[in-house]
Amino acid sequence: MATLPKNYRPLSGSERKPGPRARHIGPAADNDPVKVTVILRRRPDGPPVPDHAFYRATPPARRPRLSAADFAATYGAHPDDIAKVLDFAKGHGLTVG
Q: Mention every residue, 6+ apart, whose C-beta is less than 8 A from residue 55.
A: 63
Cβ-defined contacts of 36-40 (< 8 Å, 24+): 38/85, 40/77, 40/81, 40/82, 40/85
Q: Which tens digit of pLDDT belongs to each residue from 38-87?
A: 999 998 888 998 899 999 999 999 998 999 999 999 999 999 999 999 99
**What's the pTM value of the predicted model, to 2 decimals?**
0.62
